[in-house]
Structure 1
């Protein structure tokens, strides 16, 4: 039997759970909607960069860990960016405390990646589209060409783009050259 003392905590717990669910649903919905055109639209810049440094820290209220990532920009694929750009990513490790955010990318010093950079309403630069906004670069061992994952934006996006055009909707390639990515971004 519930008394008047247990109702508010149960109500507050249910309300908090509902709020968390709606926030995660909103984030998931945003993630699934992000095709390359959407990513480009929300991005202030798309850059090819090498990670120079990472530094994790507690936010001002001490409730979450964030990581400051410094990128050395080697090529601007779209938009404007300085030769060195700093972004903030949710998650990281401070001392014994590890905070991992499943739908956000992580950065490692000296890795090369293509990063879609968005300006958050707070003015901070962040990765657009969560994990989809960071494409790790690898070098094809046979050709020496630098590539990124080609299917990151999904075949369903090609189906949407080709709908009504009478075109076939082939799966995107497993890897895409940086030059092909540049061309697609400039379409």
Structure 2
């Protein structure tokens, strides 16, 4: 009988630990950044064509990094050379996928507008995660290049930095040249 009580106690203890440490959904908290904040905090702002996307393990083989090569059409701020290489945490090497929430995805051949930040390691990172990359698309009716600018919540709507994942994100298409003008205005403040 003592063995049964001891085994029952062990079982209850194990179940309690199991339930206590059960994995739960974890949403990363990424500060939503306005175009003004992205402009002021970036070391380089550019737009151009994504010519190469490659993934590799870091030196200690515990993180996969994606390196994105962009051939700039123009630098709005700073200069990273004839080819800008941006590094993003996450990616795929062989059968192993390392995903980092809130990080942008780049596709070879797409045109992008990007905000970059020079990390102390010397690598150029995309500032603001997914907020720091805007895809450039041609308007089907006018043929002009457009970007989808994210509309941030009105001040006072939310006091939390945590994003409400149930609420759909709001975007507004604007002309690329208008967005560039807006960014340049923020640089002159």
Shorter-chain TM band = 0.7 to 0.9
* Counterpart position of 1:164: none
Bigger CA radius of gyration: 2
RMSD: 2.5
* Counterpart position of 1:138: 137
Q: Counterparts of 1:100 and 1:183 in 2: how far apart (Å)?
A: 34
Contact 1:56 1:66 in 2 (8 A): yes
* Counterpart position of 1:179: 177
How far did residue 45 of structure 1 move? 1.2
Give the aligned length: 154
Q: Deviations over 1:142-172 (max 9, x none)?
A: 011100012x142526x9xxxxxxxxxxxx8
Give me the TM-score of the superposition, normalised by structure 1: 0.73
* Counterpart position of 2:62: 63
* Counterpart position of 1:111: 110
Give me the TM-score of the superposition, normalised by structure 2: 0.73
Q: Counterparts of 1:81 and 1:181 in 2: how far apart (Å)?
A: 21
- Structure 1 runs (4+) deviating above 4 angstroms are none
Structure 2 segments unaligned to the other structure (5+ residues) = 1-8, 158-169
How far did residue 36 of structure 1 move? 1.3
Contact 1:78 1:185 in 2 (8 A): no
Are residues 1:75 and 2:111 paired?
Answer: no
Contact 1:74 1:83 in 2 (8 A): no
Q: Deviations over 1:97-151 (max 9, x none)?
A: 011212100111111010101111212100000000000111100011100012x
Q: Counterparts of 1:179 and 1:81 in 2: how far apart (Å)?
A: 21
> Quick check: which one's helix share is greater?
1
Structure 1 segments unaligned to the other structure (5+ residues) = 160-171
Structure with higher RCO (Cα < 8 A, 6+ apart):
2
Q: Counterparts of 2:114 and 2:171 in 1: how far apart (Å)?
A: 19
Partner-residue secondary structure (3-state), 1:93? strand
Contact 1:88 1:126 in 2 (8 A): yes
Q: Counterparts of 1:64 and 1:57 in 2: how far apart (Å)?
A: 9
